[in-house]
Structure 1
């Protein structure tokens, strides 16, 4: 088993600002109206890169077509929309098999994810699940070509930890688990107050082999431990920088300004960055 550790410093943000921003995001989506497959903002501008394919806007079961940053259309289904209880969405991305110049055919791929926010008005927990696989022509997933991931962020424990100096004994605030036919991994992360009003996030990653592959996987896991540690360190430091420069400024905006920026973002075709978002 490989066990990796790293601690990063995060710019802190208040619980009130986070909850206020989530409330604004809900309000923006609720302000849109459907005209056939087209979603329209209150000022009459059409929403780009989102199409209502079936159902009623923001009613459970509604299906949407979303265009991602690479121009690929993905399918989304609304699972729940209730500010007092929960909101949830299911997203499916498929890549059909196709012929390659050298001959033969690629495998088809399918990835399904679900995102949940429990208690949307005063969120207590966020959950994510992801299931990806390469598929055979009959639809079955290929052996050794699949993975699953699940994660839970306990926001109640997070806020307790950053305000009181540490969460009560028990589960960490963030737990992520991943499974592959050969490997399994777990990520535990917990925050604590840092110097100068920052947060310190302690991250532990555990990777081990599964089943009969466990003794076989142990050797390469140990041999590449330093490489894994460097990759983890770089990834977490990049996350901390993105959090500081891109996420925190948006969370700290006044509700009216954030509302306007979100509507503008939804109604602006891809192109130059909006003022204030340049890096």
Structure 2
């Protein structure tokens, strides 16, 4: 088994702001109308990329389809080195009436299983792409006073060998425990945020515990993260050897990934939490 412990410091999300933000999103959704042509927002703006294909808007069993663009993961060096090739490809695409960007999209099917702002909101999401399918079940308990977030899912690869990509996972965040632990010295009985990812050969467990930043003046959260990797089933002895050999590289990669996530969080969250409910609603409505 390989265990990695790391601490990141991130900007906080105040619980009252989270309650207001969820209320804004829920209200926008409930004030909108949806049909096979698209989603009509309260201000009359039509979003044609989100279509109701089954059932009634936000009723249990309603199904929506939407297209999401896939971000280009190539770095700048690759872009510079492949500039001529991409230019030629774009020229060919122009002649044929298609483009590489037009093909870089994935279909997402969203099914509403429950929509009750007092009890729970539960959605099923199926992402379909050329390489793999992802199925997710996401639930938020008591959205008016959010207390628990649960996500479970499965990923299936279409490429061979498929066993390299097939995995299942689940995650949960107990907000009732997270927020007091993040803002005070009260320690919860167990990690308020936990996740597990199961592959045929490897199991990964992640636990996160928030604490107030040592300085306390900036209000930031100090999150203690533990990541554990171990082999599964008959391949456990083989996986143990591989993990032992690659332990240093694995630890370095995990730490780097956590630091990158924290940096992205700290870059985006302060701008969001600085908005009040009216500003957030206006921002959501102004998005194309």
Q: Report the equivalent of 2:185.
A: 165
Partner residue, 2:167: 147
Name the CA distance, whole Å, in 2 between partners of 1:174 and 1:261: 29
Asked if 1:45 corresponds to 2:45, the answer is yes
- TM-score, normalised to structure 2's length? 0.82
- Which residue of 101, 111, 121 corresponds with 1:77? 111
Structure 1's 162 and 92: CA in aligned 2 closer, same or farther, altered over 3 A?
same
Task: Answer whether contact 1:116 1:127 (CA < 8 A) is retained.
Answer: yes
Whole-Å Cα distance in 1 between the matches of residues 18 and 185 of structure 2?
20
Instruction: Please say if residues 17 and 252 of structure 1, whose CA atoms lie closer than 8 Å, have aligned partners that are also in contact.
Output: no
Please give the TM-score of this superposition, normalised by the length of structure 1. Answer: 0.84
1:128 aligns with 2:128: no
Which among 166, 187, 191 is matched to residue 206 of structure 2? 187
RMSD over aligned Cα atoms: 2.0
Q: How far 1:69 sits from its partner (Å)?
A: 2.2
Structure 1 stretches (4+) deviating beyond 6 angstroms?
Answer: none
Match of 1:207 in 2: 229
Whether contact under 8 Å (1:166, 1:191) holds in the other structure is: no
Question: Which is worse superposed, 78-87 or 229-238?
Answer: 229-238
Once the two structures are superposed, the pairs formed by residues 1-279 of structure 1 within 5 Å of their partners are: 1-70=1-70, 71-95=105-129, 109-134=132-157, 142-143=162-163, 145-169=165-189, 171-194=190-213, 195=215, 196=217, 197-265=219-287, 268=288
Q: Tell which deviates more after alignment, 192-201 or 117-126.
A: 192-201
More helix by share: 2
Counting matched residue pairs gives 251
CA displacement 1:90-109 (0-9 Å, x = unmatched) = 1112346xxxxxxxxxxx74
Find the residue that maps to 2:51 and give its secondary structure. strand
Q: Is the 8 A contact 1:189 1:203 kept in 2?
A: yes
Kept in 1, the 8 Å contact 2:148–2:175? The answer is: yes
In structure 2, relative to structure 1, the CA distance for the partners of 1:142 and 1:72 (3 Å cut) is closer
Q: Which runs of 5+ in 2 are unaligned?
A: 71-104
**Paired residue for 1:274?**
none
Measured after TM superposition, the shift of residue 145 of structure 1 is: 4.4
Structure 2 CA distance for partners of 1:35 and 1:181, relative to 1, 3 Å: closer
Measure how far apart 1:144 and its partner are. Answer: 5.4
In structure 1, runs of 5+ residues without a counterpart are 97-107, 269-279
